[in-house]
Amino acid sequence: MSIPLTTSYRLGLTGWPLEHSLSPTIHTAALGASNLDGDYQLFPVPPLLAGAGALEELIDCMRRGEMHGLNVTIPHKQAVLPFLDGLTPVAQATGAANTIFRRDGQIIGDNTDVQGFLTGLKSFAGHLFLDGRSRNPHSAPHALILGAGGAARGVIYGLVQAGWNVHSAARRLQQAEELVSAIQTSPGSGDGPNFLHLDILPLDRAAISDLLPAVSLLVNTTPVGMIPKVDASPWPDGLPFPPLAVVYDLIYNPLETAFVRAARAGGLIASNGLGMLIEQAALSFEIWTGQTAPRQAMQHAAQEALKPV
């Protein structure tokens, strides 16, 4: 893949809200550590339909060469797709894009959430990926995913491809049904060895209870618990955690959400989403610049920014 030559990179993030995003801090550190000139800005765009014009204008800026790269977060990972000229296979399979780049005059959507999530998970729970365990439907581990938005698509697709039995629990069942349909019909799925089990259920105590003893991994992909509403949790009140599960909250600000705190109090291994944030950002940086991302510098910048004042 050819990388556009530039003397100054103009990069950014769009989504809503963006006040507490660490992306500018992380990518500014990456540019500096790589001796590259440029900046990374926030472009808050309200949800569609209100934000349609602003979202289209951002993509047009890239088409005119006024921007070199764009990250996309909640709630636009799916909404941005109609404005693009093409998708990478992963973005097409997940039906969501978090990274936009320009190649040969075309604006292309990619999804670095998938590999970012798997790399982050393996860094603290590599024991869940034992060789041979994930290719037998009867012994494959079970994952329970909370939410069915753009972030959930990357997480679920990554786990399906790794051979997991995946259960998506969502409050908006129609959104979850659309997610399952998209992944089941995506390239590499079907009834082959890369597709074992994927179903949906309501995110409530009654629906989830019977599944809990089998769950090895519990992932929150919703924004519930993010700053400023740090006392909120996506987990149903009064419902015990799966007794043997590893818990992964994609939220990184605060570093310890109410969800993670409760899981740790119950004796479970639990992690925030900082590792995923760094890895997906590093992969985006490499797409835009063609250079190896300085992950250590990016990690350090994020940790410094998250330190209590």
Catalytic position from the list 77, 122, 229, 307: 77
Alpha-carbon distance 72 to 277, whole Å? 13
Alpha-carbon distance 185 to 66, whole Å? 36
Strands (DSSP E) found in the chain: 9-15, 38-44, 69-72, 86-87, 99-103, 106-110, 142-146, 165-170, 197-202, 215-220, 246-249, 270-271
Question: Letter for the amino acid at 168?
Answer: S
Residue 77 is a catalytic residue: yes
Looking at the chain, how many residues does it have? 309
CA distances from 91 to 84, 187, 241 (A): 11, 11, 32
Nearest residue to 100 (alpha-carbon basis) of 75, 64, 67, 148: 67
Structure tokens at 247: 């818990």
Alpha-carbon distance 216 to 241, whole Å? 11
Structure tokens at 96: 């969501």
Residue in the structure block whose two tokens are 């009140």: 237
Cβ neighbors of 307 (< 8 A, separation 6 or more) are: none
Residue 115 near residue 279 (C-beta atoms within 8 A): yes
Catalytic positions, written as ranges: 77
